[in-house]
Structure 1
């Protein structure tokens, strides 16, 4: 399930539909159906081939209540596009009222179901109730947005027997669907849809920044058409306040369009309704760029998108959508940076090659001010360094002869651990950093890396910020937040609001959401894709782990990074062609995709790529 397919495993070729046991078609789990008693649960199927298509079966003639509930729960895990087979387990009124696409609840295992005991049996009363239970792992809402969840799940299914046909059917049930984690992973895939940053946020090329909005779609239920419909409906609630879409309000697929498929030249034609009929060429190009960004995260082979409305072609985009917007970092990182044994900022080629570091041009590489951490602007023209004791922040240009000047920020924290964090540059040349002083903890922003620091509002923050990493899109930020004995990764959106009568904006980080519910102690983090991060942390059993996570807290497709012990810092870029770098007990080490960790230098700390 990887939304960042540019940095993870590509989609494998689709196989033919498979048919197996459990009758004529393959049923999820292939569980037997007892005719009485409690259900042991619809077991999730983690070992099943993710490309095998699964069909549901209609309710058996004269099915018992237990068989009916079992069959219904299994039908929820099938590849039936509109859950028509699952609806056959419901009464006519219940089927009309049920909205299966209202959301998905994901449980650690398949839902357990047991019949609620009554003084009189169902054969006497003509009705019965089953209780569903389980442990929640996540939810996917109606916008297809994933969110980690915890706690218990409880719901009721009420059944009644038709007095004429004597057939049992479900007449009351919760909205949405429920399934185990294994079935969820088989049924759904994560894909990014793309919008443009609003409020003037641009990429490093000064074009509008393309922002990835990860959603989950059903993998074998025409995912391409699902993604186009999802894009036309607009962004999810988390990003809606900070992004815009080029599609006019009310734009949808033209009436009668049910499936979208590229032709033999990998060109996709998208017929739209009349809401898009009057768009100009520039607006249409932006619309096509959104579609290309979105669909290439699902199917990288698509080469062209053509938009139509009525009998008229609006525009066609064959060149890279980067002509309309900046996705991620437009310039590939030239150098890897770190602090050497003399506490200077040094650099070396980002790709495989020379392993001999050189001091960066300018004062940060001269060693007169000893450093413990640093950050380099995305264009590699400016650097920021935190003094060795963590008290001061210096900013200087990376050119020969450049002076450092006075510190732009000071912390009054009494110990090194209570002072400044490693800074982070955004694509607009602004510098972000947190002061961990317990008496005055703050998240700060220095516009263009200079001037009076602007205090960033963080409503809802519960804990102290230990690490700050701003995404290349400029509208999302990753914060490692410590509270008590735990430290967790949170992702929030960056909002900028004009302040009446003043030139400087009000900047806030809103709706912070946990992205690593399975880790007790997050040590370090770095963005590693449009919506993917690489995280180092400790699991509840005390074992340190490296893993990729999506910005929504889900786990992407593809293998985790190769194991490495004693990791203290991690560095990645949004470009998966650039190796992952870490500072561990072996010094600075590097990992190319599909390879093993290799030592770069023994004496070095705090590695960073531009950003």
Structure 2
């Protein structure tokens, strides 16, 4: 065997070999054995690089179609191998990288029979749509069980007499496993008022075939292009319109020592220092999870690539970003139906916590009993629902005030069709839903003390809100909706506040989208750091599990162990994400905590309705 084939075979095996072998490095890979083509829908590990196989000489239409669909899943620069299956004109004009169609499994393909096309045979490719990724890199789950369908027209080139495809799909078409191998979720950040809002998008895990940008540069480019279409009505970017990376920027490297330096074009030349620091803050939060080393400073450069516009470090960025303060306590309702709290640093591995009654009016011996509660992010006020579920009260947790005599909102429902557990957002607004079938609705209490406003929710379609949680940034709300047959599904809506833009219309919730489409029934949920949701539920025919989901409805790989007995769950959203607080749950054992890197353990026997501030 000569050297050249052996070298080529080694490169091929390094790209496609098993993950266990990759760990040992390519130097120890064998130089003999069979070379096999990897099928696109096998669920190849994300660390494996896949390269397409070019069309064989005189390949028939069926081979061309099969080879092209597999080459579409490759890591080839510019998708060069896939383009070899296309006609010359189609190869030049094909720009699939702007959008992606994600299928539940692979494509089915079949020749179209019963017709005779003068140009050549046509093949129909179909699949069950799971989601699409649009031109802004945003993931959009398919809610109606839609079918993907496309026709590939084959023609025989005049000179070579080779079969080629003249009508490639307008987007990349990938199975779910291929999509997870090729793309990764990232958050870009925009401002809503004084808070940063996570906008989840997907970028390629390696260099983009079209732009040749590395993942960090792809993400920054997406940040500069603006927010996703769904989030755009309620957020804004500090970058001036037209701001882009300096021409020719393909890689933004960071060595862990100096600041990450990002050169911009001339559109950013004349910004003020406060605006520039907000721009740098957006960028720091966007890329800090993508760098191999801890990123604590970002510097923006002028179009010359040398002169500094401004810089911001992690401490300053945290203030500019308006992150929620780190909570001191975790709260729940004890067996005597009192609101109690536990200090987060007061529990060790060997002893249970000692819950204490919250200070203020709720600590005095009164007939008032609590069914559920929510605490403001500054932990100075609590919203409590009375034991019968009818009255919502706002109570001070500081000083020696008195218990309010009148609720801020009353439900006229009976049985369990009363008020849900309330929720605060970082702006101090209070949210609650009334489950009364005669007077259902979502309510907002401005500032926790204003006149309650009924909030219009577009797309409810008669479904009942059984649980809700406003995001800390105040622009999204998670709603647990009860379907026919008591099935509950999770949706996220966009909170629109026209009065913040000078309008007079009421606050509304728009464009509900599924937040856990993989789950047939959801039992509990909580917002988590970085715009994620922790969702407890079961897939169709599956067991109860707890998984982190992105707010766009796509699943993050991380899941929690031992979720079967969880009835409620809560996650702390705080400014210090480097020091995460325990996940707290409610099960038959009482209040349980899951500290980072540990196992569930009971910290308070009995109790229910656990919450963190928010």
Superposition TM-score tier, normalisation by shorter sequence: 0.7 to 0.9
Query: Within 2, Cα distance between the matches of 1:375 and 1:31?
Result: 60
Q: Alpha carbons of 1:49 and 1:517: their partners in 2 closer, same or farther (altered >3 Å)?
A: closer
Query: Within 1, Cα distance between the matches of 2:258 and 2:500?
Result: 48
Query: Within 2, Cα distance between the matches of 1:80 and 1:93?
Result: 20
Deviations 1:337-381 (A, max 9, x none): 111111110001124346110100122233520111011111000
SS in 2 for 1:127: coil
Residues 83 and 100 in structure 1, CA contact (< 8 A), matched pair in contact too? no
Residues 458 and 510 in structure 1, CA contact (< 8 A), matched pair in contact too? yes
Match of 1:289 among 275, 281, 301: 281
Q: Alpha carbons of 1:264 and 1:394: their partners in 2 closer, same or farther (altered >3 Å)?
A: closer
SS in 1 for 2:92: helix
Match of 1:363 among 348, 361, 364: 361
Q: Give 1:520 deviation, angstroms.
A: 2.4
Give yes or no for the alignment of 1:308 onto 2:301. Answer: yes
More displaced stretch, 300-309 vs 519-528: 300-309
Per the alignment, residue 192 of structure 1 pairs with 187
Query: Within 1, Cα distance between the matches of 2:473 and 2:270?
Result: 29
Give yes or no for the alignment of 1:181 onto 2:176. Answer: yes
SS in 1 for 2:63: helix
Query: Within 1, Cα distance between the matches of 2:333 and 2:15?
Result: 61
Give yes or no for the alignment of 1:435 onto 2:438. Answer: no
Give yes or no for the alignment of 1:128 onto 2:121. Answer: yes
Q: Alpha carbons of 1:529 and 1:367: their partners in 2 closer, same or farther (altered >3 Å)?
A: farther
SS in 1 for 2:333: strand
RMSD: 2.7
Q: Give 1:499 deviation, angstroms.
A: 9.4
Residues 42 and 110 in structure 1, CA contact (< 8 A), matched pair in contact too? no
Per the alignment, residue 464 of structure 2 pairs with 464
Deviations 1:275-323 (A, max 9, x none): 1111121111111111110001322623332222233321222343535
Per the alignment, residue 45 of structure 2 pairs with 49
Deviations 1:65-123 (A, max 9, x none): 22222221122111234323322211122123322023111112221222223577x9x
Give yes or no for the alignment of 1:333 onto 2:334. Answer: no
Query: Within 2, Cα distance between the matches of 1:128 and 1:69?
Result: 11
SS in 2 for 1:74: helix
Query: Within 2, Cα distance between the matches of 1:295 and 1:499?
Result: 29
SS in 1 for 2:560: coil
Give yes or no for the alignment of 1:84 onto 2:80. Answer: yes
- Structure 1 residue runs without a partner (length 5+): 1-17, 34-40, 202-207
Q: Give 1:157 deviation, angstroms.
A: 1.0
Q: TM-score, normalised by structure 1?
A: 0.88
Q: Give 1:327 deviation, angstroms.
A: 5.4
Query: Within 2, Cα distance between the matches of 1:428 and 1:43?
Result: 47
Q: Alpha carbons of 1:24 and 1:347: their partners in 2 closer, same or farther (altered >3 Å)?
A: closer
Query: Within 2, Cα distance between the matches of 1:31 and 1:104?
Result: 29
Per the alignment, residue 452 of structure 2 pairs with 453
Residues 42 and 112 in structure 1, CA contact (< 8 A), matched pair in contact too? no
Residues 342 and 367 in structure 1, CA contact (< 8 A), matched pair in contact too? no
Q: Alpha carbons of 1:278 and 1:355: their partners in 2 closer, same or farther (altered >3 Å)?
A: same
Deviations 1:402-457 (A, max 9, x none): 21112111100022x21100000111111110011111111111112123201111
More displaced stretch, 440-449 vs 66-75: 66-75
Per the alignment, residue 493 of structure 1 pairs with 494
Per the alignment, residue 570 of structure 1 pairs with 569
Q: Which runs of 4+ in 1 moved over 6 A?
A: 21-24, 27-33, 499-502
Residues 565 and 584 in structure 1, CA contact (< 8 A), matched pair in contact too? no
Correspondences of 1:509-520 after superposition (within 5 Å): 509-520=509-520
Q: TM-score, normalised by structure 2?
A: 0.87
Query: Within 2, Cα distance between the matches of 1:593 and 1:396?
Result: 32
- Structure 2 residue runs without a partner (length 5+): 1-7, 20-33, 208-213
Give yes or no for the alignment of 1:64 onto 2:57. Answer: no
Q: Alpha carbons of 1:185 and 1:599: their partners in 2 closer, same or farther (altered >3 Å)?
A: same
Query: Within 1, Cα distance between the matches of 2:17 and 2:123?
Result: 22
Deviations 1:242-295 (A, max 9, x none): 111111101111222233222462532222111111112111111111111000
Residues 28 and 78 in structure 1, CA contact (< 8 A), matched pair in contact too? no
Residues 75 and 85 in structure 1, CA contact (< 8 A), matched pair in contact too? yes
Deviations 1:439-492 (A, max 9, x none): 111111111212320111112222111111011111111111112122111111
How many residue pairs get aligned? The number is 571
Name which structure has the greater RCO, CA cutoff 8 Å, separation 6+: 1
Residues 97 and 171 in structure 2, CA contact (< 8 A), matched pair in contact too? yes
SS in 2 for 1:556: strand
Q: Alpha carbons of 1:81 and 1:278: their partners in 2 closer, same or farther (altered >3 Å)?
A: farther
Query: Within 2, Cα distance between the matches of 1:157 and 1:180?
Result: 18
Q: Give 1:154 deviation, angstroms.
A: 1.8
Query: Within 2, Cα distance between the matches of 1:268 and 1:172?
Result: 43
More displaced stretch, 477-486 vs 108-117: 108-117
Per the alignment, residue 552 of structure 1 pairs with 552
More helix by share: 2
Q: Give 1:498 deviation, angstroms.
A: 2.3
Q: Give 1:146 deviation, angstroms.
A: 0.8
SS in 1 for 2:530: coil
SS in 2 for 1:213: strand
Query: Within 1, Cα distance between the matches of 2:84 and 2:362?
Result: 70
Per the alignment, residue 586 of structure 2 pairs with 583
SS in 2 for 1:244: coil
Query: Within 2, Cα distance between the matches of 1:183 and 1:281?
Result: 43
Residues 570 and 583 in structure 1, CA contact (< 8 A), matched pair in contact too? yes
Match of 2:598 among 595, 598, 608: 595
Query: Within 2, Cα distance between the matches of 1:288 and 1:164?
Result: 55
Query: Within 1, Cα distance between the matches of 2:147 and 2:443?
Result: 39
Q: Alpha carbons of 1:256 and 1:177: their partners in 2 closer, same or farther (altered >3 Å)?
A: same
Q: Give 1:563 deviation, angstroms.
A: 1.7
Residues 105 and 176 in structure 2, CA contact (< 8 A), matched pair in contact too? yes
Q: Give 1:25 deviation, angstroms.
A: 5.8
Query: Within 2, Cα distance between the matches of 1:226 and 1:324?
Result: 26
